[in-house]
Amino acid sequence: MKYRKERHIICLFIHDAGSKHMVKGLIHVYTGSGKGKTTAALGLGLRATGADYKVHMIQFMKGRRYSEIDALDHLVNFSVTQHGRDEFVSKEKPEQIDIDMAQEGFSYAKKIINGNTFDIIILDEINVAVDFKLIALNEVLSLMDKKPEKLELILTGRYADAEIVKKADLVTEMLEIKHPYQKGIQSRKGIDF
């Protein structure tokens, strides 16, 4: 009898875990000096589309047509918008256009988060935008506090503020130990961008 009871509980757990509707969405942060923060978020988004979730990525401080955007064009439930230029942004003296584009992206993020259209929202490079003072830290913290309960929210980028880390449910730090740039190997299309 005990075996059958445990087996029944396990079956219920598996069934519940496979349902499309999340009970509670979590906040993820992918940060650190190593490669892979955006890639980790993309991987989670790809997995989620396989479970029929709707995913949207908002990229801050990026304006180039990266290979992952070309790949996302082939997925039905994974969309992306960019709110940046394909230009270097100076941390010490960002140009007004970079501030404006980041602010526009953040306003857009608030709108779609509150619209409840997506199951997962990725705010790519938002940690850098905060560190560069393109977006105010208190606004991001407020957004995290007010996110809809079922929404899975992912924040990526180096320099995650300690307050963002504290509020998150999952934090992964990518640590650079070795990088091909150190050997003079340039970025490779399809691998690095």
Structural domain includes residue 52: yes
Q: For residues 101 and 84, is the Cβ–Cβ distance under 8 A?
A: yes
The answer to whether position 2 is within a domain reads no
Q: What one-character-per-residue DSSP string does 121-183 give?
A: EEEETHHHHHHTTSS-HHHHHHHHHHS-TT-EEEEE-SS--HHHHHH-SEEEE---S--GGGG
Task: Give the range of the structural domain holding residue 45, as residue numbers without chain letter.
Answer: 22-183
Of 133, 58, 126, nearest to 90 by C-alpha is 133
The answer to whether residue 59 sits within a structural domain is: yes
pTM as predicted: 0.84
Checking if the pLDDT of 4 tops 50, the result is no
Q: Is residue 65 part of a domain?
A: yes
Largest interatomic CA distance in the chain: 70
On whether residue 30 sits in a domain, the answer given is yes
What is the predicted pLDDT for the residue at 22?
A: 59
What would the two tokens of residue 94 be? 């960002």
Q: What's the structural domain count of the chain?
A: 1
Q: Residue 13, exposed/middle/buried by CB under 10 A (0-12, 13-18, 19+)?
A: exposed
Residue 9 forms part of a structural domain: no
What's the confidence (pLDDT) of residue 68?
86
Question: What is the domain-level CATH number for residue 97?
Answer: 3.40.50.300
Q: Is residue 174 part of a domain?
A: yes
126-159 burial, b if ≥16 CB within 10 A, otherwise e? bbbbbbbebbeeeebbebbeebeeebbbbbbbbe
Considering the domain boundaries, does residue 164 fall inside one? Answer: yes
Summarize pLDDT for 146-191 with one digit per residue, the tens. Answer: 999 999 999 999 999 999 999 999 999 999 888 776 777 777 666 6
State both tokens at 170. 């999952």
Please say if the pLDDT value at position 14 is more than 60. Answer: no
